[in-house]
Structure 1
């Protein structure tokens, strides 16, 4: 096993209820697999691939430049129990250029961790960011169980103009005209008429199209986007600059990745297929170009244009309808969207024969299963054995078998057999082939009941508040770990339906693939309609877990990444001739902790220091000087593995018009941080400075004069970790297993990595960790090494030249400075990623009888990530209100030691 340093006891509770769907008459088949074997193989996969989930409770749904993001992480396994697998959590904040702006490493204790990210005006600008959290163990599952949330950040710093945009046109339709309409207002809300505006569309630093215009009498700029590079617009940025009285130009930036997409509709037959002459239920989902649901109505017609059935959406563009399809008939849906546009879509093909599983989830206590087969399928498979297997939380929690003796059979299953969450019900043949599948959401009301009670019905500003916490599971007290956030809801308005919560994340979105709009809607006072809406969602989403085809065929990928039990600093000690040093002495020194340790290398020259504890930014020295002939030895450190930053499933949560959407919050932020203004960037135009290229280094003179791809320094804006940024910035390069490869060659089987050069000197991947992105003048990518012979000499494929900004010429340097340019290779001084420092949340204390001069404009009134209930399930919290009047919202979330989760929201009034 890859996670050696702990014992993981897993609770498998297989409810092997071999119930009789019909009069059971089982016939042995030579290719059949016993049901017990299927269950055992599923258990083996679970045992070798236990699933971790992570959820971050944030103090607010959005922020402004100058704020601090406060969060508590809940790391769970199995049915949401505090994880025993990983002890280290990685948290990243990623900007719109897919560069990691902030990276934290946090220690995990009892399944929890907490931290903060300061949104300083130096590193952050207004825009949409992605907050990701994951353990190294999760990388065995691609990115399925990472926490990934859109965080919108507004800004009032040095701001003169607010701008909102709307788009028109369809990028995929060549006949569709692309356009944008931008409304400009001053920060006081006044429109800005008759102002000159320069605009351009950029992608990866290249200008796709540009133009100039003037706002009309109502402050609108109407621009037509005409270009031969339409395909390059998606993923680009619309950048505008408008002249104002206060400043010569004021800029606004709008992302275009969702701007010009057409609306779409998808259809999902229950069980996976449409069977001829069998009544079928079909779910559908209509989405706008921005990924959000859109109301729709339509008609299904057959090949002759005859209307078969009408349908309309019931919630966020989703709905369902039933009809009986005929064999050899193609069906089409004629659709009209809420915005007036129309479309025609083909329904899935009708199958002449087959078997399908349907589930009725309307009864609060019982699941009704129906298995229906076509006449032809029934005649071919009469009396054959079929299996029904249900997985809940990754575990097989229900299994049954029956002989097929009738075309349609039904059975009832008590929901008490399952835990709340997503249930995957699969119909399999006796050979283990999945035939039909259905996702169902089980809601048994088995979560923690958390009472959060203010000591008064209303308060004054700056008055002391006492919140009493009481946690119960059913009628028994619950000891648990919780986090509490109190915000001024008047300044931080937000729809509870759209909130990301511990319930919506752990029970729903972490177990289904695809975007779920307004996930908390289904958990706020569930009623008959919400249950039905959630059932339609289940019919249109995919399951994240392993499917039975992979389980039974043994195609589950082996574990590649071990579970981190602490920070590990590892590397290799070799002689200059490449031979590993066996039993070589390696020493670790952390000066600011007054800490040192020693180890020896194995036969491959490898060494590792386990569970090293040090703070982020600590200087670390790794030395091999205490060896004979140490001057002929070289240390190479292993770098961390960074997961690919792919497209977020939650892109629809990005806010395009931040100025108007966050207007209330940003106005308060402007008052709160009015004395924390950041100096505006001043562009100094001077004589042209020669750009550094690979041709400035003699060792790279054999490369082509022109690179195949280039990365401009502007594309690294906001990048803090250079190596991590390269995983997405390098064009035509694939990052795999801590190495970089030419994508086209890698896909054809060439697994030789590229060779990196920095200032014309060859370096390994680990060296890239030490580069300051702000000192990079550009990156050149070469798919071949030309006449240089670099790849033959190093057994590599392709060259990447990282060109640094030139140092001032004619300046004398000291001997120590010269030595730093050519350090001994048997010693490495570097700053590895250590545990992040956690900032204490400031809690003011007020005496209401005294006058306080300074305004208290806080939006987060109280934050406490360490709330623990005692054996009686109780805890008491105290804090003071700010100056804001209106409604304050208090949220508590958390879990107990057995994995029972809960969330409660209460409001109180401040007068």
Structure 2
């Protein structure tokens, strides 16, 4: 058996050091130089694997001040953008998209945040009339869209309202839970003892406790199992030839479900890992006699890795049906590690996820506090994993101890060590990291058993494939401009563009290239600010110049997929809104502030699924044309052929253009779009499939309501050398303010739903110190302090602590 590390492959200066360790562990090792086995796997596995991860993988985590909110409250949050490989804050990207979606998956609001040193913060206001339910907070960068093996950050947020509360229920109450089994390593081989992970999931996506047993064709019980509250468990079994076994799962009130066990393979290699010993990790590779006759004396490679880091490589020959080795956790990466076994053709044949706590990346947060007049003064101390004072960037949330808003399921610490490397949704990841006792390590290992193969595709990697980079790092905004000679109707190269934006403190000038084009890049532009660009000749005269402008925007989703098996039922409990709100409840009648008239009211082609936008004086200047409006607001793609005929794709399953309805009558797309002016339109509704149009609505519909009276908004584009753009830029920074509650601090509802303090910008100095203070109502005697953060070297910080102001001061 040959043991080799990443350092041996690339750093010859330290090769002798690891050779000494290797010879102690494996006495059969005599040399590594020029070994053809090592060269083979370096070329076919290690090299393409490291190349696949050469590009930075960004990851986003969002710390919110609460886990649930009342309508009328603000969702205060801080976003951390870090390098998934090293957990360092990223500096390349300065633009972050943060979105809030309603319980149906429709976009409510999107904010673009300016990221500096890997962090940013802001808030979403929850309107008083929003219905109760589970909302989704999503965050990502443009660069993250390049990697299909990487998911955006998503967090479910519960919103309450003073109306009758709506509780999630299952649409199909009779639907049974889903039961899945996962053989350890990915293979269930005949005659080989195999451990299985089992996962029992309710239709709403949550796991559930269950018991069960495995029976053979004679109904003999071969094994039993028990799942935890998250529906995860395990059992071990050895196959009995061709005998078909069944898994019988029992749950709820006497209900049960039966599924078939997977049939074992005639040949294959089983991978088993014992990761419950803190000082060493035991790896076993097993096969049956039929397999041994084929693989005996052929080389295999065992790779320990994670997200582009290769920690260990073990090369060996199969000489018996059971082969084992020990791995030192201190030579592995922190958190999730992948153990992948490759055959002699460098193809993956088994894989197992393990968790390593031997490498500590968690720093410590300590704080002292004292009363200072009517405020609580906090002194924060931070240290790295070796307990040396360290600079850290932290966020602090302070809530009453009896709050219902501290039911967080995850943390930045769990995101770095656990979530980034796993597929799909993990229930309560923080649970697995709260302690390091045997039971918690066992439950975490069961979670990893149910993960199967890593989410990236090994076949693509070993074939030398790398991610196609279609989306760039975004560093500010970009505006593209073009000058056209009005008389000659062609590009005018001898042009100068001047950009004015007093709101953004910008005055810039750039000359056109040979095609009459230029770009203003890396602009810091505030949201809802105006930018005016002038085109002139090189002497500054505007004669004969027509300018075309375009703000570079991304085509982003306005809907997401949410759990469709969940609907909501009305609860009899009526909660008092701590903010007072605009809603007045009189017995069974709800009186609300009068809403503005819907432009599509009474329109026979309007549906509940329409996505609409109203053209106002405030957003009018944002759009250069009707086609540009469809792209920005609805992600609709437009194109014209050589004859100028227009086609539009709304994202429907078919490739045809949608039906166009203007004031209740169908219109020709090309003809209308050629003559339409934005200022003549009151509102537009888009529907990807409009059933009210029958077959004519199969490609969707564009429903337009025009104005009954003209508007006199000034249009700078009437001056063809000028273009004024209304920019959807960076959201303005917001300062936390303590809400004005109508409830008194001593009431139960206040202590459930109120927020005491939120500070997203606590920065400790070189001595690891920072101070801040905040007001605490004298009636509040206990607080929950939750803090998260990160340092520039990748140390992660997390604390969730209860303090008593009577006994601790």
TM range (shorter): 0.7 to 0.9
The DSSP-based 3-state class of the residue aligned with 1:860 is coil
Q: Which residue in 2 is equivalent to 1:804?
A: 704
Classify 1:546/1:689 alpha carbon distance in 2 versus 1 (closer, same or farther; 3 Å): closer
Check conservation: 2:497, 2:511, Cα contact below 8 A. yes
Match of 1:484 among 386, 396, 413: 396
Shift in alpha-carbon separation, 1:768–1:573, aligned structure 2, 3 A: farther
Deviation at 1:488, TM superposition (A): 1.2
User: Which residue of the partner structure matches residue 185 of structure 1?
Assistant: none
Mapped to 1, the partners of 2:388 and 2:710 lie a distance apart of: 75
- 1:598 paired with 2:531, answer no
Match of 2:443 in 1: 533
Instruction: List per-residue Cα deviations over 1:60-86 (Å, max 9, x = no partner).
Output: 111112211111111111220111331
Q: 2:528 aligns with which of 610, 617, 622?
A: 617
- Aligned counterpart, 1:362: 276
1: distance between equivalents of 2:357 and 2:680?
Answer: 51
**1:469 and 2:364 aligned:** no
Q: Distance in 2 between matches of 1:67 and 1:712?
A: 27
Offset of residue 553 of structure 1? 0.9
Q: How far apart are 1:54 and its partner, in Å?
A: 1.1
- Relative to structure 1, the CA distance from residue 692 to residue 625 in structure 2 (aligned partners, 3 Å threshold; closer, same or farther) is farther
> 1:118 — aligned with what?
125
Task: Look up the match of 1:72.
Answer: 78
Q: Pick from 388, 404, 409: which aligns with 2:323?
A: 409
The DSSP-based 3-state class of the residue aligned with 1:805 is strand
* Match in the other structure for 1:506: 416
Other-structure match for 1:138: 144
Return the match for 2:480 from 559, 564, 570.
570
Question: What 5-or-longer segments of structure 2 have no aligned partner?
Answer: 1-8, 585-589, 620-628, 639-646
Q: Deviations over 1:634-653 (max 9, x none)?
A: 545543231575435x899x
1:554 correspondence with 2:464: yes
56-65 or 621-630, which moves further after superposition? 621-630
1:672 equivalenced with 2:572 (yes/no)? no
Contact 2:75 2:126 in 1 (8 A): yes
Helix, strand or coil at the partner of 1:506: helix
Structure 1 residue 587, shift from structure 2 partner: 3.7
Alpha carbons 1:757, 1:799 under 8 Å: kept: no
- What SS is found at the alignment partner of 1:837? coil
Q: Are 1:639 and 2:553 counterparts?
A: yes
Distance 2:165 2:171 in 1: 21
Residue number in structure 2 paired with 1:438 = 352
CA RMSD of aligned residues (A): 4.6
**Cα distance in 1 between the residues matched to 2:441 and 2:802:** 26
Q: 1:427 maps to which residue?
A: 341
Distance 1:676 1:501 in 2: 35
Q: What secondary structure, in the 3-state scheme, does the structure 1 residue paired with 2:444 have?
A: helix
- The aligned counterpart of 2:5 is none
Q: Does 2:797 correspond to 1:890?
A: no
Equivalence for 1:55? 61
Q: Any conservation in 2 of the 1:753–1:798 contact (CA below 8 Å)?
A: no
Alignment correspondent of 1:282: 196
Instruction: Report the CA distance between 1:676 and its aligned residue.
Output: 8.5
Secondary structure of the residue that 2:430 maps to in structure 1?
Answer: helix
CA distance in 1, matches of 2:185, 2:688: 51
**For residues 631 and 115 of structure 1, do their structure 2 counterparts lie closer, same or farther at Cα, with a shift above 3 Å needed?**
same
For residues 712 and 729 of structure 1, what CA distance do their matches in structure 2 show?
23
Tell me what 2:624 maps to. none
Q: How far is 1:689 from its partner?
A: 6.8
Indicate conservation of the 8 Å contact 1:54/1:145, yes or no. Answer: no
1:299 Cα deviation after fit? 1.9
CA distance in 2 between partners of 1:389 and 1:520 (Å)? 28
Distance 2:676 2:467 in 1: 30
Closer, same or farther in 2 for the Cα pair 1:780/1:774, shift >3 Å? Answer: farther
- 1:64–1:461: structure 2 CA closer, same or farther, 3 Å change rule? farther
Closer/same/farther in 2, CA of residues 553 and 686 from structure 1, 3 Å limit:
closer
SS in 2 for 1:33: helix
Hey, what does 2:762 align to over in structure 1? 867
How many Å separate the matches in 1 of 2:725 and 2:591? 32
Report the Cα distance in structure 1 between the residues aligned to 2:376 and 2:796, rounded to whole angstroms: 29
Q: CA deviation at 1:564?
A: 1.1
How many residues get paired? Answer: 745
Task: Provide the C-alpha distance between the structure 2 equivalents of 1:51 and 1:454, rounded to a whole number of angstroms.
Answer: 37
For residues 578-603 of structure 1, give each alpha carbon's deviation from its aligned partner in whole angstroms, at most 9, with x where no partner exists. 96665654443324335332334556
SS class of match (1:54): strand
Whole-angstrom distance in 2 between the partners of 1:419 and 1:13: 18
Q: Whole-Å Cα distance in 1 between the matches of residues 61 and 718 of structure 2?
A: 44
SS in 1 for 2:478: strand
Q: Matched residues in 2 for 1:28 and 1:422: separation?
A: 30
Q: Cα distance 1:400–1:43, how it changes in 2: closer, same or farther (>3 A)?
A: same
The unaligned stretches of length 5 or more in structure 1 are 1-10, 171-175, 177-260, 694-709, 731-737, 747-751, 789-796, 846-850
> Following TM superposition, by how much is the alpha carbon of 1:560 offset from its aligned partner in structure 2, in angstroms?
0.9
Q: Quote the residue 1:349 is aligned against.
A: 263
Q: What residue number does 2:290 align with?
A: 376
Counterpart Cα distance in 1 of 2:677 and 2:238:
61
1:264, distance to aligned residue in structure 2 (A)? 1.1
Deviations along 1:390-437, one digit per CA (max 9) or x if unpaired, are: 212431222221122222111111100123211111000132200000
| d(CA) in 2 for partners of 1:502, 1:772 | 49
Q: Hey, what's the Cα distance between the residues in 1 that align with 2:121 and 2:228?
A: 39
Conserved in 2, the CA contact under 8 Å of 1:300 and 1:331?
yes
CA distance in 1 between counterparts of 2:677 and 2:443 reads 48
Paired residues of 1:781 and 1:800 also in contact (CA < 8 A): yes
Cα gap change, 1:539/1:66 in structure 2, threshold over 3 Å: closer, same or farther? Answer: same
Task: Give how far 1:99 is off.
Answer: 2.6
Contact 2:613 / 2:684 at 8 angstroms: preserved in 1? no
